[in-house]
Structure 1
Amino acid sequence: MENPRIAVIGAGLMGTGIAQVILEAGFHVSLVDVSADQLENSKGKIYSFLNRKVEKGEIDKEYVNSCIERFTTFNSFESVTDTEFVIEAVPERLELKKQIFKKLDEVINQNAIFISNTSGLSISDIASVTNRPEQVIGMHFFFPVPKMGLVEIIKGVLTSDFVYDKVKKLSEQIGKNAVDAPNYPGFLVNRVLVPMINEAIYCVMEGAKPEDVDAAMKLGANHPMGPIQLADFVGLDTLLATMQGLYEGFRDSKYRPCPLLINLVEGGQLGRKTGRGFYTYK
């Protein structure tokens, strides 16, 4: 189908970014969330971003109007039953995602492809609560979605090749480069990146200054952002949850979360979003 209807479930940061990218690619997008306030906030962010692109001369007002015509918001799954693709972007909790997919399976047409934006949870486990596991697949976007060019595509044990091909094509149509990732905790990027950040936090715990660790990796490894800065940017709670997922999934001590990371999260110092993590933000 050349121009399928796509529903995005969850109007948080990731859902908003995903909806925007798909909308800009010319598709019809329905954003679904139980919170009317969250939907309005998401809509405002998307329109504001599009208008900034008009000011920069990247798109014209006519195209913004066409995006608005192709964008709808709803509070219930029943409002998007005829969609071709459903992209779930709710918080990274397995039981919540399984609950969402079970409900979607009950009300969405049987031909729809279900996609999870999980950053590391098992696609096979998520798919197991549906009656269409062969139509469930992972498509992991990266934050901020409009700027990051990568998506990881993850097949569950029963995902069909047909569904994989459709999602690979969709990735290309929305301007993303897709890589195949194994259905194991962390997939590719987080499995490599998060333990590196965790090790950097161990260095801080053992006496290194955060700014020295960041300078070492920026100047010595040519990283655009230091690992401690990146930890604060991502959110220390998110980082900890990912490390815990890796640790529990592989049962390997190399994925053990650093005690300093645990302490900061328990103390509510989560990075930029709380104004304080390893660094202090105004």
Structure 2
Amino acid sequence: MSGQQPERMGPKADEDEKPIGPQGGGLRLRAVLPNAITAAALCSGLTGIRFAITGDWREALLAIVLAGVLDGMDGRVARMLKAQSRFGAELDSLADSLSFGMAPAIILYLWSLQAVPNLGWFASLAFAVACALRLARFNAQIDVDHQPHKSAGFLTGIPAPVGAGLAFLPIYLWLAGGWEWLRDPWVAGPWMTVIAFFMISNTATLSWMSIRPRRNVRLELILFVGILFAALLVEPWWTLAVISVGYLALMPYAWLKYARIKRQTSAKGPTRLAGSDGTTPDE
């Protein structure tokens, strides 16, 4: 109906979630907490740049990791408080662009790429702009019914926080193993450019919605998460490197799984990948 506001998601507008009712009006009091968490994530990401300027690489990476943790919390808190707002959604996108686009680009430039100033800066720009383009694409598609990846429980491309974490893989290994060759700009630059490409690509990637462990392994999953947390405390850089490599290893699995779902859907008719209006979207 004309005059009605389109459905929007509040902070955080997670890519594997469905819209939650129309949002409008001013910022409510109960929305202060989730938006304060988003602001804290933004400050944490930008503080990572400050640590990079002084050469404190461990602190710089930890600041971005903390920003990622806070970024995953704000939306959950907003939904618990029923405090989703358009203001929060916009603030979250701006915070993500700065914390997971601009900040990693500058950190990697200062860590390695400034050795080849022109080409290194272009690689940093590519990553920061790719992150902004990804977030803009997501915001533009919130009200679009035809989202085949999302309908099948997948994401389109690598999410911004994950992209930032993957871009830091050479630094993880450098901090863990002391391999100086990883700091070569001809290693770090192409790597960051590849991650930037996958952030804005149309490839299907796994989302939390697509991970559904069987009942008979849920206790084992709890044990695994506990051990993983302990590993992050004891050997953070090796653990983050293993997590990054594990995510990269799962990407071909996501592509194959999505292709299989598409084939099954094509054989059975427009059911699972259909949009909300019942039509089958084209990619």
Q: Shared fold (TM-score greater than 0.5)? A: no
| Bigger fraction of residues in helix | 2
Higher strand share: 1
Bigger RCO (CA 8 Å, 6+ sep): 2
Scaled by the length of structure 2, the TM-score of the pair is 0.27
